[in-house]
Amino acid sequence: MSDTNETEEQVSDDDWAAAMGEQAAVEGSGATAQPAAIFEQFSGGTENPATPQGFDMILDIPVNLTVELGRTKISIRNLLQLAHGSVVELEGMAGEPMDVLVNGTLIAQGEVVVVNEKFGIRLTDIITPQERIRKLNR
């Protein structure tokens, strides 16, 4: 058993010596080492020239979409007193556009619609990236 371990250590030492010799040869010649092509280049989106490369990779990532009717602050005492039929007053006014958030970031505003007895939202205003940055600076 000890002969096998010594042989493995010897092979391992020889491998290190060979690698160090190659590195010294490259550094001594003034040539720059080229990175290995481990990862293939992104080529997604070639079907549609308007689609940026690699864009298809993110299309199936799930996000949380939230439509916010309004907000309010309420004490725990009042929260515990809520019962069936209680009304909670929100800061938003009736008829005002509702905020549409993706992962907590405002991206649009819209109005409630009912289609086939289901609620939905019709987007009326899309927030541009410039407007989002402007709101962050406030």
Q: What is the pLDDT of residue 7?
A: 46
Are residue 66 and residue 54 in the same domain, yes or no?
Answer: no
The tokens of 129 are what?
A: 């990236």
Residue 105's DSSP bridge partners are 102
Are residue 56 and residue 75 in the same domain, yes or no?
Answer: no
Are residue 77 and residue 102 in the same domain, yes or no?
Answer: yes
Number of folded domains in the chain?
2
Domain extent at residue 25:
1-61
Domain ends where: 61, 90, 107? 61
Are residue 52 and residue 66 in the same domain, yes or no?
Answer: no
Q: What is the pLDDT of residue 4?
A: 47
Between 94 and 101, the higher pLDDT residue: 101
Are residue 5 and residue 28 in the same domain, yes or no?
Answer: yes
Domain ends where: 22, 38, 61? 61
Are residue 44 and residue 33 in the same domain, yes or no?
Answer: yes
DSSP annotation of 109: E
How many secondary structure helices (H) and strands (E) does the chain include? 3, 4
- Give yes or no for a contact between 72 and 89, defined as CB atoms under 8 angstroms apart: yes
Segment 61-99, tens digit of pLDDT: 899 999 888 889 999 999 999 999 998 888 877 778 888
| pTM of the entire predicted model | 0.49
For residues 19-32, give the mean pLDDT: 64
